[in-house]
Amino acid sequence: MKDLKFVVTDFETTGHASKGNDRIIQASFVVIKNKQITGQYTSFFNPEVPIPAFIEELTGISDERVKDAPLFYEAAKEILPLLDGAVFVAHNVAFDLQFLQSELERAGYRTFSGAAIDTVELARIVWPTSDSFKLGELTGNLGLQHDRPHQADSDAYVTAEMLLLMIEKLEGLPMVTLEQMARLAVRLKSDIYLLIKAIIQEKQSNIEQLPEQVEVYRGLAMRKKNIVGRVIEKTPPVYPETDEEKAALIAAIPHFELRQSQADMMDLIHNSMQTSKHLAVEAGTGTGKSLGYLLPAVYQSKQEKEPVIVSTYTVILQQQLLQKEIRQLQQICPFPVTAAVLKGRNHYIDLYKFSQSLKATSDNYDFTLAKMQILTWLLETETGDVDEINLSSGGELFWNDIRQDNDYMNKGRKAWLDKDFYLHAKKQAKEADIVITNHSLLVADLLAKSSFFPACRHIIVDEAHHFERAARDRLGLFIDQMTCKQLFGKMGTYEQKELFYHMEKLVSKYGKKDKEDGRLAVNRKLQELQFESDEWFKVLQVYFEKHTKKRTGNWHRRQLRLTDEARSLPYWEHIEYGAERIDALIGELIHWMKQRLDQLSEFREQMTASEQVKMDSFKDVISEWEELQHTLLRLIFRPEEEEVIWMEGDSRSFANTFVIKSHPMEAAKMIQEALLRQKHVVFTSATLAVNGSFHFFTEETGLSSFEHEEAILPSPFDFKQNCRMIIPNDVPEVKSVHQEEYIESLANHLTAVAEAAKGRMLVLFTSFDMMKRTYDLMKDSGLLDDYILLAQGITTGSRSRLTRNFQRFDKAILFGTNSFWEGIDIPGEDLSCLVIVRLPFSPPDEPFAQAKSEQLARAGKNAFSSYSLPQAVLRFRQGFGRLIRSSTDRGIIIVFDRRIQTNQYGKTFLQSIPAISIEEASLGEVVSVIEKWL
């Protein structure tokens, strides 16, 4: 390490085209020697081209500022000595290095020929659980001072500080991990292997002392696992019955007060658990719902000496419960509280598979990077849960190769049993007072022959408005092209050297010598299957596009319900012919695969561990192919009554998005039989009731057939004082004008509203197409150039990343559909204006909604009032709940859909939200109200 000199660099430029007309306008070089920052050189440069307005806005560097600055070639004689013998380092090094080389070429100097390290690539390896690898977010998480982002001197210096921290982290890794990384690092894009080798050489002169929490097992260094045992009190703690007793407990959390609605919720749930009578409780925003159910749950757990299960819909809430509310619970309870998260098997790493993967010598870049990330992560993770680690999309493909997938034990895996993360999670769950899981896994467990959850009597279902949908999802089936490709790819042809090739090698080694033509015949069948599958999806695309072109607007995302009528349309018979051929081929191949498996089974004990893994993988593939065959027959030839089957896909990317799906029409019977008859259940959410009634929810879940309690706990926030609704009266009705005219009017109104509210605005749509066209119009108008416009599915980033970016900028507008109606939490002044463009009814031709309406009509019920309206109201309430997130929040909600005032059913929407001031107004009046109110 002493011999390595690093020059950490950052350039500000006029654009991205280093080979074109773009130039460097500011450069900074920070020198690091012997792990110390020893100097910094910074200069502005005259680029001899105008600086674009957006670059000036981003960097603060203007034409005026650089007009008297030197040209790059004039400063090159000062820069080149800095680079001599150095490792060139930058955040996104390819960008900076490209500009350096171009400028040196133009100046007539030799280009830089030394090593280069990318701190983005290195950060992925060193901090694999980071949410983002952008410089600002990394340095913020590390607590580094970074006052002037997008100024080269500030960016370069903070990158240098970050590099030193990364070197320090690498130096702390066990030698075995570093040696594995060194073998992998030669396949990275930058020269990180030089740094790792230097650290290894330095460490070799010292005797290694592993940290107490780290162990090395079979050549793999990882964090030790500890089961936190349940503490069983001699006398079970007594539930705090009075509000004073609860308040005394809550006082342990700084700046936290017990709310009356929260105390009421605790008592309702405690009484429900004591009597085993099911409960549905709606807890409004600000109630403190999570602690409201966790406190009585942990007392019940202590009393009965068994876990209480909490099921949520989203991974985000699972993590929040563990990291925030469980910690609060541990703070306030006068006894130890243990909690565990339990997820589906494929969330957990298979250590044997990963250890085997490290022996591979032909990885692509994404697999190499993922392996290095996982080597670091194994030293930190206590769960082995993939949700902790930030893998690239290519890294996620690698995860599919090393995740847990079955219980079948071979020689190799048996050796890893004591280290297994999935088994560890199950053991921890048995010892926990509270077990946190998700709806999908809970439903899967209810349907499984044997439960993998610990024995328990009480289940709390949070985000319960999603539970019936999650149950239908789990009961449903699907076929898509990517899954088929991956499944057939696992087997592969003989030439592709996948499972088929390896099984043939095993047969040659252990089984009877097969005739060459037998193998060739199977190989032809596999080739034929891959060909038939590809052809079938082409036919599906033709059918799908031909029969979904009648939609209005530029709507790329399409759906087609497979009714009897749809199955009589042109090209359907070709779909059936193709499915028959695929079914026949899969049948023949499964028959052959089972013969091969039987042939080799008697030799299993003689096989090596890696050969046994191949056998197990082969067995798994047989199960997967049988499942595919069953799904194909059900969806194409044998649809069941009370089941809806549909196709959906995006015409811009058919292969990646097309899927055939089925859902049962309802999940109520399953929920009744598997859950409500077997367990005591508390359902809770911020939105369960429609106009004060639980009727819709209890019918959907089957709860109406059981004796149960219902309660609505209103939000403690003063909505009347802090929130008001405006309905613009000068926007045309959407169906009264051409869509282009409506979107133009909407964009004009939103632009004026955004300027009045100074951004801080969330705009919720029900149609992606309408959102995109509105976003494009507003962005292209030039009227909002000072604003940051962020849009789901258009601006890159996940929902949480878009939300974080929205909060980072003062003048920001966030556009969202579907998932943005709920689950995002933006408290304070960051969000002051919520816009709902259309009331969130499901489109009438949306397959499930259409089928549900027909089912209700057959039963003599009004489909609109008994299904479409309550669904839309619950969604509307979720959207409304985004605005006021704390007692001090103030905001305005604008609803552009005048049906909320003009139609009779509009009252149901308004009566389902807290009482607030509602007024109709023209655009000018809306702007005036916003400016005065905010």
For residue 386, being part of any structural domain is answered with no
What confidence tens digit (pLDDT) does each residue in 493-542 have?
A: 999 888 999 998 898 888 766 666 778 999 999 999 999 999 999 999 99
Give rounded-to-5 percent helix, strand, coil for the chain.
50, 15, 35
Q: Helix or strand or coil: residue 546?
A: helix
Whether the predicted pLDDT of 552 surpasses 50: no
**Does one domain contain both 634 and 753?**
no
**Does one domain contain both 853 and 788?**
yes
Whether the predicted pLDDT of 360 surpasses 90: no
Do the annotations mark residue 766 as ligand-binding?
Answer: no
For residue 328, being part of any structural domain is answered with no
d(CA 286, CA 261): 9
- The CATH number for 161's domain is 3.30.420.10
Among residues 209, 237, 263, the one where a domain terminates is: 209
**pLDDT at 861 (0 to 100):** 94
For residue 91, being part of any structural domain is answered with yes
**Does one domain contain both 643 and 755?**
no
Whether the predicted pLDDT of 550 surpasses 60: no
Backbone angles phi, psi at 826, to 5 degrees: -125, 85
Pick the more confident residue, 797 or 624. 624
d(CA 506, CA 615): 9
Band of pLDDT at residue 553, cut at 50, 70 and 90? very low
For residue 286, being part of any structural domain is answered with no
Do the annotations mark residue 285 as ligand-binding?
Answer: yes
**Does one domain contain both 654 and 748?**
no
**pLDDT at 852 (0 to 100):** 93
What are the start-end ranges of the H helices in 476-608?
A: 481-491, 499-510, 516-546, 572-601
Chain length of the chain: 934
Q: Helix or strand or coil: residue 90?
A: strand
Identify the H or E element spanning 196: helix 192-203
End-to-end, the C-alpha distance of the chain in Å comes to 57
Contact 20, 42 (CB under 8 A): no
Residue 37: name the closest of 77, 5, 12, 11 by CA. 5
What confidence tens digit (pLDDT) does each residue in 561-572 have?
A: 999 999 999 999
**Does one domain contain both 488 and 623?**
yes
d(CA 220, CA 235): 44
For residue 252, being part of any structural domain is answered with no
For residue 917, being part of any structural domain is answered with yes
Neighbours of 735 (CB within 10 A): 7
When the pLDDT of each residue in the chain is averaged and rounded to a whole number, the result is 91
What average pLDDT does this structure show over 913-927?
A: 92
Band of pLDDT at residue 555, cut at 50, 70 and 90? low
* DSSP code at position 207: -
**Does one domain contain both 651 and 526?**
yes
Contact 817, 768 (CB under 8 A): yes
What's the one-letter identity of residue 510? Y
For residue 305, being part of any structural domain is answered with no
For residue 162, being part of any structural domain is answered with yes
What are the start-end ranges of the H helices in 255-288?
A: 260-275
**pLDDT at 512 (0 to 100):** 67
What confidence tens digit (pLDDT) does each residue in 386-434 have?
A: 989 999 888 998 998 899 887 656 667 788 989 999 999 999 999 999 9
**Does one domain contain both 631 and 767?**
no
Residue range of the domain that includes 628: 482-664
Pick the more confident residue, 651 or 641. 641
Find where tokens 């507008």 sit: 813
Dmax (CA) of the chain: 87
Residue 165, classified by CB atoms within 10 Å of its CB into exposed (0-12), middle (13-18) or buried (19+), is middle
Three-point CA angle 732, 737, 740, nearest 5°: 100
What confidence tens digit (pLDDT) does each residue in 445-491 have?
A: 999 888 888 889 999 999 999 999 999 999 999 999 988 988 898 89
Structure tokens at 932: 């005065």
Residues 6+ apart with CB under 8 A from 81: none
Among residues 174, 209, 244, the one where a domain terminates is: 209
- The CATH number for 874's domain is 3.40.50.300
Whether the predicted pLDDT of 212 surpasses 60: yes
Residues 6+ apart with CB under 8 A from 812: 759, 760, 761, 787, 788, 789, 790, 805, 806
d(CA 224, CA 214): 6
Residues 6+ apart with CB under 8 A from 92: 118, 120
Report pTM: 0.87
Structure tokens at 732: 């045309």
Whether the predicted pLDDT of 877 surpasses 50: yes
**Does one domain contain both 783 and 915?**
yes
Do the annotations mark residue 344 as ligand-binding?
Answer: no
**pLDDT at 805 (0 to 100):** 80
Whether the predicted pLDDT of 11 surpasses 80: yes
Find where tokens 């320090």 sit: 168
What's the one-letter identity of residue 299? Y
Residue 300, classified by CB atoms within 10 Å of its CB into exposed (0-12), middle (13-18) or buried (19+), is buried
- Name the domain count of the chain: 3
**Does one domain contain both 180 and 45?**
yes
Whether the predicted pLDDT of 626 surpasses 60: yes
**Does one domain contain both 631 and 747?**
no
**Does one domain contain both 783 and 851?**
yes
Radius of gyration of the chain (CA): 31
* DSSP code at position 673: I
Structure tokens at 879: 């959207």
Strands (E), 234-290: 278-283
Do the annotations mark residue 284 as ligand-binding?
Answer: yes
Contact 892, 930 (CB under 8 A): yes
d(CA 600, CA 604): 7
**Does one domain contain both 723 and 660?**
no
Among residues 664, 692, 710, the one where a domain terminates is: 664
Do the annotations mark residue 816 as ligand-binding?
Answer: no
